[in-house]
Structure formats: C-alpha cells, structure tokens
Amino acid sequence: MIELLSEVLVSALILVGAFFTLVGSLGLTRLRDFFARLHGPTKATTLGVGSLLLASLVFIALEGDGLRLHKVLIAIFLFLTAPVSAHLLAKAAICLKVGTGPAGEVPETFDATQSLEIPRDPVSTPPAT
Amino acid sequence: MPLLVSIATAALVGAGVWLILRAQTFPVILGLMLLSYAANLVLFASGGLTVGRAPILIKGVETYPDPIPQALVLTAIVIGFAMTAFVLVLALKARFALDSDHVDGDPVEPQEGR
Amino acid sequence: MTLLLVILIPLLGAMLPPLMMRWGRGASAGSAILVTLAALGAWGSMVPAALRGEGATFKLPWIPALGLNLSLTLDGLALLFSGLILGIGLLVVLYAKDYLYKSDPMGRFFAYLLLFMGAMLGVVLSANLLLTVVFWELTSITSFLLIGFWGHRADARRGARMALTITGLGGLCFLGGALLLGHLAGTFEIAELTSLRDSTLSHGWYVPALVLILLGAFTKSAQFPFQFWLPQAMAAPTPVSSYLHSATMVKAGVFLIARLHPALGGSEVWFYLVGGVGLATLLVGAFLANLAYDLKGLLAYSTVSHLGLIVALLGIGTQYAVVAAIFHILNHALFKASLFMSAGIVDHQAGTRDLRSLGGLWRLLPFTAPLALIAAAAMAGLPPLNGFLSKELFLEQTLELPFAAGPWWLVPALATLGALLSMGYAVRFGVNTFLGPQPKTFPKPPIEPPWGMRIPVALLVAGCVAIGLLPDLLGAPIVELAAAASSYLEVEGVHFALWHGFTPALLMSGIAIVGGVGLWYLQRWFVPVFDQSIPLPSGERLFRATIAGLVDLSRSAKRAFHPGKLQTAIAWMILSVVLLVGSALLVKLPRWTPSPADIDPSLLGGVALLLLAIGAALYFHRRRAVSLAILGAVGLLLSMGFVYLSAPDLALTQLSVEVSTIVLMLLALHLLPAQSVKERVGLHHLRDGVLALGAAVVVGTLTWLLLIDPPTSATSAYYLAQSKPGGGGTNVVNVILVDFRGFDTFGEVIVLGIAALGVYAMLFGMGLPTRWTRPETPDESAYPLMLGVVARVLLPLALVVGIYLFLRGHNEPGGGFVAGLVFSAAIILQYLASGIGWTQHKMNIPFHPLIALGIFVAGLTGVIAIAFGQPFLRSWFEYYHVPILGEIELASAMAFDLGVTLTVVGGLLMVLVNLSKLPRSTSVRPLTLAEEED
C-alpha cells in the first residue's frame, strides 16, 4: 500500500515538474520580448526543478535510505540564486535599453557598460548564468 | 567507450587548433583553453576508463581506477587556469600597448576586415 | 685540498671586485690583488714539495659513472704553468689597475680576469682529461668575455665572436677526441693514460682521437691554419692581450700537447702532424708579423710564430726538444707579456699603436723604451737574453730529427728562415716605435705612465735578463721537472749555457740575426707591395664567408618558418607535430587489432552534447561573449564526464576552476573588443582546416590506441596499496598530491604563485591604481541590493562548504585545491556583488603575503620532516580520540594542503581582483561597431 502510494506521489511530482519545465521552455521560445521571456526560465523552471527535486527526495526517503538533505540543500540554493540571476538579467536589459516591442532585438553580445552613463565600477559584468 | 572519448578529444583538439590559428587574441585564448581540456582528457584517459568506482579506498573492494592520471590532471587544471590568466593579461597588455587586438600587433587592416 | 683551493680562490673571489666597486676603484683593484695573492700563497705552500718531485695530488669522484673525477695534480708541468698563470696574473692585475680608463667598469673586468685565472689553473692542474675539457671550455667563455670587454666597439664584438667560434669548435673536437681516447683506453685519468701509451698507439682509433685532440689544441694555440683569430682578439684591452693571448690561454693548446705527449707522442703521425703544423705556423706567423702595422697585431703574429716554434719542438719530441719547448714556454711568457704591456703603454700614452705614426719615443718614454727594447731583443733571440738560449736549442734540435723529413738541410733551413723573420719583426717593433725620427704630433702627448704600469714590465724584463745570465740556476731545475712530466723518455741532467762553442746552431743564429736586420732594412720596399697588390691567403676570409653563409641560411629558414607572423609559426609547429606523431602512429597501427567498440548510452549523450557545444563555439567564435558562454558549457560537460568516469576530485576541481575562468574571461572581455573582425576568406582557411583536421585525427587515434590497451603501472598499484597504511588517507588522489608526489605539488603551487605575480606585474604597467577609494555604501544602481544580500548570506555557507571539503579531502573527494577554489569563488562573489571599494573595506586580504604564506607553510611542512630525520615532505599522521567528535586523524599532510589552499586563494584573488581594478580607460580606444562589423 505504502509502495503504491509512494509511487503515485513520486510520479505525480515528476509529472508536475516536467510540466512546469516544459511550460518554461515554451515560454522562453514563444513569448513576445525579452522581459516576458525572462519569466520562462526563472519562475516556471524553478518550480519544475523544485518538483523534480522533491520527487527525488520522497523516492529516496521511502526506498528506505532515510531522509537525505542534499536535495533540500540543492532546492534552497536554487531558490536563492534563480531570482537573483533573473533580477540581474532584467537590470542588464534595462541598462542596454532593450526594447519591449517585438522589434526590440536583444543584442547578441553582452556589453552592459558600453551604453551606460552612470559611473561604474569595472566589476559590473555579472558572471554568465 | 574508448571510441566516444577519442571522438571527444579529437573534436576538442580540432576546434582548439582551428581557433589558435585565428588572427585575433581572444579566439586564440579560447583555442588554448580547448586544447588544455583536450590534453587533460587524454592524460586522464591514459589511466583507462572506469565507471562508477572512484579511487576512494573502501573495505572489501579490490580494484580501483588508476589514481595517478587523476592526480596529474587535477594540478593540470589549476595550472591551466594560471596559464589562461597569464595569456589573457598578455593579450590585454598587447592591446594596451599596440592599440591592436591582432596576434602580431598589426593594425586590423581593411583587407582583412572586409 | 690546498690544490683545490688554488682553483677555488680565484673562481669564488671573482665575486669580490664587483662588490667592492661600492667603495671605489681602488678597493676593487685591491680586492683583485688580494685574491690573486691568496691563491699565490696557497700555491706557494705546495711548491717546495713539488720541487722535490713530490707534487700534491687530490682526487674526488664527481661523476664516476662517466669517468669524470675531480682529480688534480701538481707535477712539474703543472707547477711551471700554474706559476706563470699566478705570477703573471698578479702583474697583469697591477698593470690593469692603472691601464683601465675611468669609464671602464673595473669590477666587471677583474671579475672576468679572476674567473679566467681560476679556469686556466683548472686546465693545468687537472689530472683527468674530462675535467680538463670542462675547464678548457670555461677559458674559452671567459676569454670571449674579456675580448669583448669593450662591447661598444664593433671590432671587439667581432673579435670576441671569432675567438669563441674557433676555440669553441676546437673545444668540441677536443671533447670528441677525449671521449674517443677515454673509450679506447678505458680511463680518463691522465696518469693511467700515460701508462697505457703502447696499447694506445697501436689501437685503430688512435689516429682519429689524436687528430681531434690536436684540433682542439691547434685552435686554442692559434696554429696554422687557425691563426687568424688571435690578431682579431687584439681588440681586447691590453692587459688581456698580455695575459691571455701571450702568456696563458694560447699556451693552453701547447700545454695540452705537452701534457698528452707522454700518452700519445712518439709516433710517426705525431711527428709529421705536430711538427709540420708547428713549423708552418712558425713561418706564417713570422712572415705576417713583418707586414703588420698595428703594434699589437705584430705582437699577435709573433706570438703565433713562437707558439708554432714550441709546437714544432713538441712534435720533434726527443728529450732535448721537449726541454727546449718547455724552456721556450717560460721565456716566451716573460718577454711577450712585457712586450704587450709596453705596447699597451705606448697605445695608452700616445693614443695610437700604428707603426706608421709612431717613432722616436725613446726620448719621451725614457723608462719604458729601454725595457721594451730589451724584451724585443729577447724575442729576437739576441744574447745574452733568455730568448737566445731557447732559440739556439731549437735550431740545434732541427738538426737531429727522429724521422726523415725531406733532404737533411730542409728543416734546419726553414727554422733559420723563421729565426731570420723573427729578427726582422723584432727590429721592426723596436726601431719603428722607439728609435728613428719622431713624428710631428701624436694623438696624445706621450708621457710616462703611472708606476703601476711600469713596474710589471720592469719585473718581467728583469726575469728575461736574469734567466739569460743565470740559466742553469734559475731555469734548469723547473724546466727539468716540467720536461720530465711531458716526455715519455727519461729527462735528466738539464744544463743551459750561453756559450757552447762554435756549433751549427750558432752559425744559423748568426745568419738569422744578420739576415733579419737586412730584412728590416728592405721592409720599406716590400711591405707596401704586399699591402696593396698581393692578397694573402687567409683563413679569416674563409671563416667570414662561412659565417655569412650560415647567417643567410638561418635568415632564409626563419623567413620561411617564422616570417614574423604568429599564425605561420604555429601552423608549422602543428604541421610538424601532426606529421611526426602521425607517421609514428602509422608504424604502430598494424600491431593493434581493433576490438568492437561498446557504446555506453550515457557517455554517448554526453559526447553528443559536447560535439554540439564545440560546433556552436566554432560557429559563434567571433561573437566573443557567446562563445565564452558555450565554452563554459564545454567545461561543465567535461566535469560531468569526470563524475561519470570515476574521478570525483577532478569533477570538483574542473567545476570550480570553470567558475573562476569564466569570471576572468568576462573581466578581460570588458577591455577587449566584443567581436572578432571577420577574416578574409582565403587559402589560409584551407590550411587551418586541414591542420585542425589532421591534429584531430592524430590525437583521436592516439587516444583510441591508448584506451583500447591502457598501460598498467606498478606505481599505481603501489600507491593504491600504500595510501592508507603509508599516507593515512583513503582518497588516493589526494594522498598522491599531498604525500607521494608532494614535491611535484609543491612545485606546481609555486608556479601558480609565480603566474599570479606575473599577472600582477604586467597589470601594474597598465595603470593599475595602487589605492582604491570608494564610497563605503555601494551604489544601488550599479550593485543590486538583491545580489549583495544573497552574496553576503552565501559567504559563510560557502566558507563552511570549503572547510568541509578541505577537512574531508584526505579521505573523500575534496582537498586543498578544491577548497581554495571554493573559498576564492565565494570571495569573488562579494567583489562582484558589492564592488571593490566596499569589499576591500570589509575584508582587506593582502594577496602577496597570502601567496607567500601558502608556499611558506607548504615548504615548512617539508622542512619539518627533514628536522625529524625524514626525507623532504614525508608526511606523518596519527589518530586521536576526541570525546564528542570521535576518531580524529591529524596528518602533517593537512598542513601541506593548507599551504596549497592559501596559495590558490591568494593567486586566484590576486589575478581576478587586480584585473577588475583595471580602469576602463586602460583599454585603448575601442573599435567602434562600424569598424568591427563587416
């Protein structure tokens, strides 16, 4: 009984995770402009990966290996870093004056300081995320 | 498995050689990085390929992968970083002094640019 | 031991004069004199025993496997030569003190001179042929430095190069001959070689070995046809000419012939080769000296001629010939050194040494002139001076040859001709300089030089006269001893006398003297003829042509392989590697039978992704940021591959290095153009493509061959077995790094530190600010609050992770390198999030000391092991039971690992932080997009 329940639970979590990841990926490719597209990988995918991690956590816990907190740690780090990187990306886009219309192309190269007026520290380029 | 790893190293070497033959500094540095990846991989592969058994001693386990290449590659990775940094700053210095990004310090000529 | 000291005192003492320059030229010269006196003292303490025939010996195995021993001996020959080297050396140092001009770096001069003295003493004291070669080469190098001392003058540089080339090539021949001789005799000890003479002479390799060794000796002693380098070497300061090029170094060749005469002499080949070359040199040198206008050039050719005389005597090789040769070595050193010094005085005081603009100096240099004239008379072989004695002996010996050489009168006639010519140039030297009409003006008004330059000349000339008058008392004992050491026959009862009746030799002398004066009288007619119309056969021209040809050859090779374009140079390099390795693989390939390759699905996926990423990196390589991001992906894929292929340590390292690398590259990209200029499509693309493909195929095949038959190593098995009992850790990779191969790791950590310092040094020239002032609160618009806060929260967490990785490293994946990388990543994040000003204010880590501390700690661990009587870096470990934490292992390897961590952190931060400090303005005018786009 427990086994069946756990299998259902794990499967459901995996399905939810896969769904959100798919939605996020679709959003990344299909949405209108840069700022809209940013939602895809940050919000939806966070949720998706979170679910998958949870599935793994439950699976291992119920398989009898006990509660392993590695996965929780991964989730915490993910939740900490994803919004920060999204925030940075958005800020960079503002600095680059990326347009919001469909024609507002995102330059392929990333050189935030080139069009920046505010005096800045050289360490302004964020790491590739 | 040997075939796959050989293909991976071959691809790394091919791309690396192509890039270090470019005329500007940055691709050359990228090429050097790819070549050092390839070198690390070949060195690592010289110990044979083992799946799922780290060279961490566990009671009752008799066979382990060769630890020596791993130790060699570990330091090679760190030294590779130092080398990349050095070459990179060399490139910066060249551009600072010569006002050119070209590997020979030539001005980027029109016939090459167009 | 004292024997070794005699060599070591000048060699080590050479450091003193440059150091003493701080206290002035007097102190520098004084220290040189003291060093020479010290060596002379050490030598003098051994002279009495050596004169009794009980010379000191010394032997210390150096590289016994090669037969190279530090064995020294002070037999008669060595005694004579070392006495000349030290005695004349002292006089030359005295003379040079006043000779050198104010602008000359005196410390450097004396350093070279003392180094030469030590090397030359090594040559003559050595009792091992290989050791002789070593010191021999050292004399060539120091002679090069001394000839080229006035390096601002083209003739000095040219002369120095020529001397080095000729004597260096000769040195190579000598080495070859010495090796051959050692091979055929089975020993390099000269005493043993001497005892093996009979078997050596009958050996098939005797002639090649002899010819090679003689080539070395002939080039060094400027024998025909190599005589031309010596006049060129006259560009050296005169003390050098007087010391090296008359008294000592050019005698090294003669010394070698004398030294090996007991081991190799007495054969027909020896007689014709050595005797013939010597006689030819005697005539050629003497003839050319009669044509020279340069005072020092004349003396140089006369030196050549006298060396030829000595060589000819050694070639004859009978007891009395050897005695005469040794006696002439002594005499020649005395009169020629004083003549060079006099020529130097003339040059120094009158400002010219061209015979055409000199004359009548007798009145202006009343002290120097008579001395120089006496020395010239000794050179000419006039009685009652020392030169007369040895020349008489020579003429006498030409009448008693051991082998037939043409009609009986031929060799004596040629010898008389040589003596006649030498009388001619001696008169030319003396009369044209000091007597005769005085020219209207001199470049400088000549006055007598300081006493420091006059006294050495006087002492040497006094020696000439004294030996001439009392030859039996002053000359005979040492000559007998030295001749005994350089002959395979018994030498006893040597007596010299000024007068020994009416002999054929006296007649020949008389002809020579009268004829020589006549020759001088005729010179005003025949010298200009040779001067203008008759091209003299000259090895020098051949030498110059050869050198020019070689230079042209290397120029054209350079033009082909490295035309100043990096791409071409790299292409050649890769091509040669591909061809070399490829051909080796072609040879090896058939030995392996290909086994069916098993395809691992996970690996297949990984490799497919990798290929995709590499392809994308190539496709986008001109868009630098994009290609960089893809490169990051390649690194991540590799670290995943390491995880999969059982190398967790590598995966951790690769991952954390990748982070730092990407940050580094982005920082640099900030100062470089964002895009690469598109290259014109051309043939070189085809070339690059073929090369890339070739390299890929070769490396791929190599890897494949390696993988289908991986080498097994006993060392690996040993490390695996010993890791726990010997190194105290279960993570074998880490134990190898910190214990088994700790010395390697130590070196690599130092390399890391050096690279970081190199980066810092290079950045420093690019306007790196020394002080960094910034507002304490970061600018919100540049440093987003969110990132800052998260980064600060993450810092302690990351530090904990780093410490965890560090502590478990000995037994689980982790260790010093990884921990250092994690620490620096965490700290770099602070810089990125909050700016340099704020971060440096909050945590001021000095990077230079950190690197030094790391290396120091790692090194100290090793040194402590030595203190416990263990080898460097031998690790120690012990288990302790701690109440709450349980079993704790304490290993000295952890201290070593700590050093590694500290260096990694210091090096990484030094590079990254300083690179980010570089102001944007450092980057020169960035190319505008219009220029970059095609």
Give the residue with greater pLDDT, C622 vs C640: C640
3 state DSSP class of B83: helix
Sign of CA dihedral C340, C342, C344, C346: negative
Give every CB contact of residue C223 below 8 A, 6+ residues apart in sequence: C217, C253, C277, C278, C281, C304, C307, C308, C311
3 state DSSP class of C248: coil
Name residues of chain A where pLDDT drops below 70: 64-68, 99-129
Question: Which chain B residues touch C817 with a CB distance below 8 Å?
Answer: 74-75, 78
3 state DSSP class of C61: strand
> So what's the pLDDT on residue A64?
67
> So what's the pLDDT on residue C39?
93
Is the minimum CB–CB distance between C617 and chain B shorter than 8 Å?
yes
Q: Which of C455, C453, C460 is nearest to C246 (CA)?
A: C460
> So what's the pLDDT on residue A126?
47
pLDDT > 80? residue C651: yes
Average pLDDT of C413-417? 90
For residue range C461-482, list pLDDT tens digits in order: 999 999 888 888 888 888 888 8
Is the Cβ–Cβ distance between B100 and B56 less than 8 Å?
no
CA count, 13 A, side-chain hemisphere, A39: 10
DSSP-based helix, strand, coil % in chain B, nearest 5: 65, 5, 30
Distance CA B82, CA C513 (A): 77
> So what's the pLDDT on residue B54?
79
**Structural domain for A55, as ranges:** 2-115
Per-residue b or e along C508-524, where b marks 16 or more CB atoms closer than 10 Å to that residue's CB = bbebbbebbbebbeebe
Distance CA C261, CA C264 (A): 5
A 10 A CB-CB count for C441 gives 8
Interchain CB distance below 8 Å, C719 and B81:
no
pLDDT > 80? residue C276: yes
> Structure tokens of C316?
């004859």
> So what's the pLDDT on residue C142?
92
Q: Which residue of C has its CA nearest to B23?
A: C567
Q: What's at C547, amino acid-wise?
A: I
Give every CB contact of residue A12 below 8 A, 6+ residues apart in sequence: none
> Structure tokens of C804?
């965890």
Distance CA C761, CA C754 (A): 10
Distance CA C328, CA C907 (A): 67
Distance CA C930, CA C926 (A): 11
Average pLDDT of C766-789? 65
The answer to the question of residue A120 being in a domain is: no
Q: Strands C68-73 and C877-882, how do they pair? A: unpaired
Is the Cβ–Cβ distance between C69 and C189 less than 8 Å?
yes
Q: Which of A103-112, C25-34, C192-201, C806-815 has the lowest mean pLDDT?
A: A103-112
Question: Which chain C residues touch A111 with a CB distance below 8 Å?
Answer: 625, 670, 674
Find where tokens 């050189």 sit: A111
> So what's the pLDDT on residue C708?
79
Average pLDDT of C579-595? 75
Q: What's at C803, amino acid-wise?
A: I
For residue range C882-922, list pLDDT tens digits in order: 676 666 677 788 888 899 999 999 999 988 888 888 765 55
CA triple C676-C682-C684, angle to 5 deg: 85
Give every CB contact of residue C774 below 8 A, 6+ residues apart in sequence: A121, C835, C836, C837, C838, C840, C841
The secondary structure of C296-347 as a DSSP string is: HHHHHHHHHHHHHHHHHHHHH-SHHHHHHHHHHHHHHHHHHHHHHHHHHHHH
Contact pairs from chain A to chain C, CB under 8 Å: 75
CA count, 13 A, side-chain hemisphere, C652: 24
> So what's the pLDDT on residue C493?
74
> So what's the pLDDT on residue C731?
87
- Based on the structure, what is the number of domains in chain A? 1
Is the Cβ–Cβ distance between C345 and C368 less than 8 Å?
yes
- Quote the minimal CA–CA distance from A13 to chain C in Å: 24
The secondary structure of C876-930 as a DSSP string is: -EEEEEETTTEEEEEEHHHHHHHHHHHHHHHHHHHHHHHHHHS-GGGS-SPPPHH
Interchain CB distance below 8 Å, C793 and A80:
yes
For residue range C354-403, list pLDDT tens digits in order: 888 888 888 888 888 889 999 999 998 888 888 888 888 888 888 888 88
**pTM summary value:** 0.68
Is the minimum CB–CB distance between B67 and chain C shorter than 8 Å?
yes
Interchain CB distance below 8 Å, B15 and C915:
no
Is the Cβ–Cβ distance between C136 and C48 less than 8 Å?
no
Distance CA B12, CA C725 (A): 40
Q: Which residue of C has its CA nearest to A91?
A: C784
At C381, give phi and psi (nearest 5°): 85, 40
3 state DSSP class of C54: coil
Is the Cβ–Cβ distance between C629 and B36 less than 8 Å?
no
Give the residue with greater pLDDT, C781 vs C176: C176
For residue range C147-190, list pLDDT tens digits in order: 989 888 888 888 898 899 999 999 999 999 999 999 888 889 99
For residue range C194-211, list pLDDT tens digits in order: 888 888 888 888 999 999
The answer to the question of residue A128 being in a domain is: no
Give every CB contact of residue C904 below 8 A, 6+ residues apart in sequence: B78, C749, C752, C816, C817, C820, C821, C824, C854
Start-to-end C-alpha separation, chain A: 43
Per-residue H/E/C for A17-40: HHHHHHHHHHHHHHCCCHHHHHHH
Residues belonging to chain C with any Cβ–Cβ distance to chain A shorter than 8 Å? 623-626, 628-629, 632, 659, 662-663, 666-667, 669-670, 674-675, 774, 779, 781-784, 786-787, 790, 793-794, 831-832, 835-837, 916-920, 926
Q: Which of A35-44, C425-434, C476-485, C685-694 has the lowest mean pLDDT?
A: A35-44
- Quote the minimal CA–CA distance from C138 to chain A in Å: 55
Distance CA C238, CA C244 (A): 10
Question: Which chain A residues touch C837 with a CB distance below 8 Å?
Answer: 121
Distance CA C342, CA C336 (A): 10
Interchain CB distance below 8 Å, B91 and C668:
yes
Q: Which of A102-106, C240-244, C492-496 has the lowest mean pLDDT?
A: A102-106
Give the residue with greater pLDDT, B111 vs C580: C580
CA triple C782-C783-C786, angle to 5 deg: 140
C2 CB burial (10 A radius; 0-12, 13-18, 19+) = middle
The answer to the question of residue A54 being in a domain is: yes
Find where tokens 């040094």 sit: C761
Q: How many residues does chain B have?
A: 114
- Quote the minimal CA–CA distance from C692 to chain A in Å: 27
Interchain CB distance below 8 Å, C811 and B50:
no
Does the N-terminal peptide bond of residue C849 adopt cis geometry, omega within 30 degrees of 0? no
- Quote the minimal CA–CA distance from B8 to chain C in Å: 6
Q: For residue C880, list its beta bridge partners.
A: C888
Per-residue b or e along B46-79, where b marks 16 or more CB atoms closer than 10 Å to that residue's CB = bbbbbeeebbbbeeeeeebbbbbbbbbbbbbbbb
3 state DSSP class of A124: coil
3 state DSSP class of C398: coil
Going from N- to C-terminal start, the domains of chain B cover: 2-49+67-105
Distance CA C242, CA C487 (A): 28
pLDDT > 60? residue C879: yes
B2-49+67-105: which CATH architecture? Orthogonal Bundle (1.10)
Q: Please provide the average confidence, as pLDDT, over all residues in chain C.
A: 85
User: H or E element: which one contains C169?
Assistant: helix C154-185
DSSP letter, residue C247: I
Average pLDDT of B36-50? 88
The answer to the question of residue A123 being in a domain is: no
CA triple C226-C230-C236, angle to 5 deg: 155
